[in-house]
Chain A
Amino acid sequence: SVVLTQPPSVSVAPGKTALIPCGGPNIGSLSVHWYQQRPGQAPVLVVHSDRDRPSGIPERISGSNSGNTATLTISGVEAGDEADYYCQVWDSSVDQGVFGGGTKLTVL
């Protein structure tokens, strides 16, 4: 089934833009969803269907998906954005949920 690849870590200075990639063969043909997980907490959905934000998620968090890479973009990074981020797809060919390994975002 689908395998999603994420870099273990991304570091960014406050106020800059963080780009968190999620790679997979032809992932652009799937819908990608993103979760934020702060230490000791359950994951929270921050983007679904490639680029849609649930209510309460700030506009500076956005998503895109094309070709072999989906990307979560966090603009104007703040200390509170420091967390683990996971991408996820539903592989409807086998009815299976798949998560990436996660990326730890560090705010310098």
Chain B
Amino acid sequence: QLQIQESGPGLVKPSETLSLTCTISGGPFISNNYYWAWIRQAPGKGPEWIGSLQLGVATYYNPSLRSRVTLSVDTSKNQISLRFNSVTAADTAIYYCARQVISGPIQWFDPWGQGTRVTVSS
């Protein structure tokens, strides 16, 4: 069964860089049918798509976050990573990693990892 596990620091200081890792196991990491995505959810808010990795082909970013976000992959470890620069309190959220299922232009997220809580505070 596919397992998705996010990891990273629970607390980051304002203006610093947030780095998170997502480890995938129990299923294919590279596939023409899947991308891998990062999604976050601020307290009391709905999910916000951050970006997606089409492994070896392309990376897609939320335009509102693009200037501060970098997604990368380590295929030797079945991991994807997120770097978020110059964080502020507004970046406090649960950060989820999810498999993005591709059916042409129709794309959804399933399953999601359990998420990792990140607080931005001095």
Contact = CB atoms under 8 A, between A and B. Distances in A.
A101 B44 CA distance: 10
Contacts of A43: 47, 96, 109, 112
B49 A98 contact: yes
Contact of A33 (B63, B108, B112): B108
Interface of B is mostly: strand
Interface string B90-120: 0000001000110101111111111100000
A42 interface: yes
Interface string A4-35: 00000000000000000000000000010101
A37 to B, nearest CB: 8
Given A42-B114, A96-B62, A49 B106 contact: yes
Contacts of B115: 42
A92 B100 CA distance: 14
Report the interface size class on chain A.
Answer: 20 to 34
B106 A86 contact: no
Nearest to A41: B114
A65 to B, nearest CB: 12
Interface of B: 37, 39, 45-49, 52, 60, 62-63, 96, 100-101, 103, 105-115
Cβ-closest 10 pairs across A and B: A97-B49, A92-B105, A90-B107, A33-B108, A45-B110, A31-B106, A102-B46, A42-B112, A99-B47, A95-B60
Interface of A: 1, 31, 33, 35, 42-45, 48-49, 54, 86, 88, 90, 92, 94-102
